[in-house]
Chain A
Amino acid sequence: MAIVGESGSGKTTLLRLFNRMIDPDAGRVEVGGRDVSSMDPVHLRRALGYVQQDGGLLPHWTVLRNTALVPWLEGRSDADDRARAQLELVGLPPEQFGSRFPRELSGGQRQRAALARALAAGPDVLLLDEPFGALDALTRAEVQDAFAALRARLGITVLLVTHDLDEAFRLADRVAVMRDGRVEQEGDPEALLTRPATPYVSELLARARLA
């Protein structure tokens, strides 16, 4: 599921409602059928993977320690092993990258490591906030492909926030278009392309094709 919209459309706010970084003024948010407002935010967050635009890796921790963060917080003894396995999955062999610090990685490698960190505790849902936004076009395509392969393999639910309609169509089964805090249209890419519900969605599609 991708959430598409321009800056200020409310897509990041929507995403942050899921892991209770923000609580809603009205309405309810459910994850796996449970109202999140009844859940402890810290435990909820550990059950949901999260990646933000600049990765947000801890600059003073090695890649391995960063990746092992959530299992380590949970006190799991296999934290490092899980982290190594995840690094392998995202294409960062731990023996080569594990002991490096984030600033010793390229932008694409950092986003892969952030992805590995988000997946290390085996979450059911992954929240991605513009995870490919800061990468150059070539690197972005490469990391997007790696992500698509990974998702196919893990089969987990992903909420992807992006301003890039092409990216949404490439990666998502379903796409929601947001504007001024409201969802304009929600459906599979095919439906959006063939039957845009509002003039705004048509305009967005036109702009995306021009670009």
Chain B
Amino acid sequence: MFGRRMAAIVGGALIVGTAPVLVSAQEGGPVAPVPDAVRDRPIVVATKPFAESYMLGEIFAQLLEARGHAVDRRPGLGATEITFAALRRDDIDIYPEYTGTGLLAILGEEPSGSALDVFGRVSRVFGDRYGVRWLPPLGFENTYAVSVRPETADSLGLRTLSDLARVADGLVAGMSPDFIGRADGLEGLRREYGIDPREVRPLLQAVKYQALANREVDVIDGYSTDGSIARFGFVVLEDDRGFFPPYDAAALVGPALASGRPDAIAALTELSGRLDAGTVRDLNRRIEVDGEPVARVAADALATLGLVGGAARTADGSTVVGRPSFVAYLWSRRLNTLAETRRHVLLVATSLLAGFLVAVPLGLLLERRRGWAESTIRGVGVLQTIPSIALLAFMIPWLGIGVVPAVTALFLYSLFPMVRNTFTGVRDADPAAVASARALGMTERQLLRYVRLPLAAPVIMAGVRTAAVINVGTATLAAFIGAGGLGDPIVAGLALSDTRMILSGAVPAALMALAVDGGLGIVERRVAPPGLIQEAASERALP
């Protein structure tokens, strides 16, 4: 459940990006008529990038397929802001969400009332404001959970947080830094229950469970469906005063599907109330701890519920048993890798070409209008400093998700090195040669065509090369907004703690960056006019 926390952090940074969405939502009518094309297209099921979200999304997808609907999967699409913005635009149709997240992160309201109150509130406001529909909750909530070892629970007689308050001054707590600081975290536990541990150690999610198992700490915070709770058999203390806000899991359905596909809604509603926290914790453990394929875990869950019979099927159609060697794993993914590589090349090449066609004329123009040059190049440089994830998220309100916003963002990133190198390359091209050619009667146009551009070509090419290498790397982040490419296995692997999956995207991406750098290095030398002493143009152009 690292994902929700990450989503909260990214969400804070991106709030500017989503603000226009919310504003326009209040202005416009909530429900648009459903075009026929929407009725016929596959149902797009997305998830946020953490294991439980993948698993729930896969359960939705397999259930819909079993009921005869075509499904297009977008696992790990992005944090709350990204998935929700995509849902509102009908770029995706469904994703798993939590009522508390809807209330706090999307609506920005204070937590209040029971789980039922919160569900009622988000159902009403989301429907009125966005035309988005919350289906009845799945039956479990994933909220904060305070856990202890079973021996501790037995010996001290702990069952609830009220029980913990009695003995907390003799215990060492290991908690996430943000939980320690939050009003609805440790502060609130102190205030509401009087829980005041002897010592509080800040611990990251990844090491917290192991620390509890090793008896280095006695009590930890976490999320109630974390697979590790099931793995270690820890005891979750009951929130007997209802302090933590409710985070009921449910399917969140976009406007087009909600109003146009009652059969699909009916199929999804079969899941309502069927998944309890223990079951989900166990399913999460199989994915997070045992490394089982998401598709198989989801299929087992549906079979156990009696909703879908038949054999499990993995997402790529292969059956993976045990842990094959890394090479065998890469081989088994070769078709996926090939498709991802092709998409990656498409993203980089398209954005680079568009960038080149804009940057080179712009660089030449600035060389003629020196007064504008510094401010313009600085402005283009500022684009470079916008964090990639933020820039990608800014695109969503205008361009939606997928290839178009990704290429647009990559295009913007590619401008700076190419504009700068074109400008400096042409400006600094052999001043003596330019001066004497002018004194002998070359026009400015002839100077540019026959002298300055040929002499600047290696420098311009070095800018193209820099932009290309940057884009190969940045394009891996395009996976966050559903544009595909080699970022897909990286994002999914990060969410599932699957190192092999991360490497199956990262290694080809690194190789591609090296190949692009090498290839364009050759081009750079070839465009260098004859008669010049070879020097590192890339270094010459740097300010």
A contacts, CB < 8 Å to B:
16, 19, 21, 42-46, 49-52, 54-62, 69-70, 73, 101-104, 114, 117-118, 127
The 4 A-B pairs of least Cβ separation, nearest first, read A56-B436, A101-B531, A60-B529, A46-B441
Q: Which of B439, B440, B531 contacts A60 (CB 8 A)?
A: B531
Distance in angstroms between the alpha carbons of A104 and B436 in the assembled complex: 19
Distance in angstroms between the alpha carbons of A62 and B531 in the assembled complex: 8
Residues of B within 8 A of A58 (CB): 430, 433, 437, 450-451
Q: Which of A43, A49, A60 contacts B532 (CB 8 A)?
A: A60
- Given known contacts A73-B446, A101-B530, is B440 in contact with A57 (CB within 8 Å)? no
Chain B residues touching A, majority SS: helix
Which residues of B388-436 are within 8 A (CB) of A?
Answer: 430, 432-433, 435-436
Range of interface residues on B (Cβ < 8 Å) = 20 to 34
Taking the complex as formed, is B438 at the interface, i.e. its CB lies under 8 A from any CB of chain A?
A: yes
Taking the complex as formed, is B454 at the interface, i.e. its CB lies under 8 A from any CB of chain A?
A: yes
Check if A59 sits within 8 Å of B430, measured CB to CB: yes
Distance in angstroms between the alpha carbons of A137 and B532 in the assembled complex: 27
Residues of B within 8 A of A59 (CB): 430, 433, 455, 529, 531-532
- Given known contacts A52-B432, A52-B435, A55-B436, is B530 in contact with A60 (CB within 8 Å)? yes
Which residues of B441-466 are within 8 A (CB) of A?
Answer: 441-443, 446, 450-451, 454-455
Check if A60 sits within 8 Å of B454, measured CB to CB: yes
Residues of B within 8 A of A127 (CB): 439
Measured CB to CB, the closest approach of chain B to A130, in angstroms, equals 12
23 of the cross-chain contacts (CB-CB < 8 Å) are A21-B439, A42-B442, A44-B441, A45-B440, A45-B441, A50-B440, A52-B432, A52-B435, A52-B436, A52-B439, A56-B436, A58-B430, A58-B451, A59-B430, A59-B529, A60-B454, A62-B531, A69-B442, A70-B441, A73-B442, A101-B530, A101-B531, A117-B440
Tally the A-B contacts, defined by beta carbons under 8 Å: 74
- Closest-by-CB residue of A relative to B442 is A73
Check if A56 sits within 8 Å of B432, measured CB to CB: yes
Measured CB to CB, the closest approach of chain A to B44, in angstroms, equals 55
Which of B433, B439, B454, B531 counts the most chain A CB atoms within 10 A? B439
- Closest-by-CB residue of B relative to A127 is B439
Check if A103 sits within 8 Å of B437, measured CB to CB: no
B contacts, CB < 8 Å to A:
430, 432-433, 435-443, 446, 450-451, 454-455, 529-533
Distance in angstroms between the alpha carbons of A9 and B530 in the assembled complex: 39
Residues of A within 8 A of B437 (CB): 56, 58, 69
Distance in angstroms between the alpha carbons of A78 and B455 in the assembled complex: 27
- Closest-by-CB residue of A relative to B451 is A58
Check if B432 sits within 8 Å of A54, measured CB to CB: yes
Residues of A within 8 A of B438 (CB): 21, 45
Check if B441 sits within 8 Å of A43, measured CB to CB: yes
- Closest-by-CB residue of A relative to B457 is A60
Residues of A within 8 A of B450 (CB): 58
- Closest-by-CB residue of A relative to B430 is A59
Distance in angstroms between the alpha carbons of A69 and B439 in the assembled complex: 12
Q: Which of B454, B455, B531 contacts A102 (CB 8 A)?
A: B531
Check if B531 sits within 8 Å of A42, measured CB to CB: no
Distance in angstroms between the alpha carbons of A73 and B437 in the assembled complex: 11
- Given known contacts A59-B531, A103-B531, is B443 in contact with A42 (CB within 8 Å)? yes
Residues of B within 8 A of A55 (CB): 432, 436
Distance in angstroms between the alpha carbons of A70 and B435 in the assembled complex: 14
Which of B438, B440, B533 counts the most chain A CB atoms within 10 A? B440
Distance in angstroms between the alpha carbons of A73 and B439 in the assembled complex: 13
Distance in angstroms between the alpha carbons of A102 and B435 in the assembled complex: 16
Q: Which of A49, A57, A101 contacts B433 (CB 8 A)?
A: A57
Measured CB to CB, the closest approach of chain B to A5, in angstroms, equals 20
Distance in angstroms between the alpha carbons of A101 and B433 in the assembled complex: 13
Residues of B within 8 A of A42 (CB): 441-443
Residues of A within 8 A of B432 (CB): 52, 54-56
- Closest-by-CB residue of A relative to B528 is A60
Check if A56 sits within 8 Å of B531, measured CB to CB: no
Distance in angstroms between the alpha carbons of A57 and B434 in the assembled complex: 9
Residues of B within 8 A of A69 (CB): 437, 440, 442
Distance in angstroms between the alpha carbons of A58 and B430 in the assembled complex: 8
Distance in angstroms between the alpha carbons of A138 and B451 in the assembled complex: 32
Distance in angstroms between the alpha carbons of A60 and B454 in the assembled complex: 8
Distance in angstroms between the alpha carbons of A117 and B441 in the assembled complex: 12
Residues of A within 8 A of B446 (CB): 73
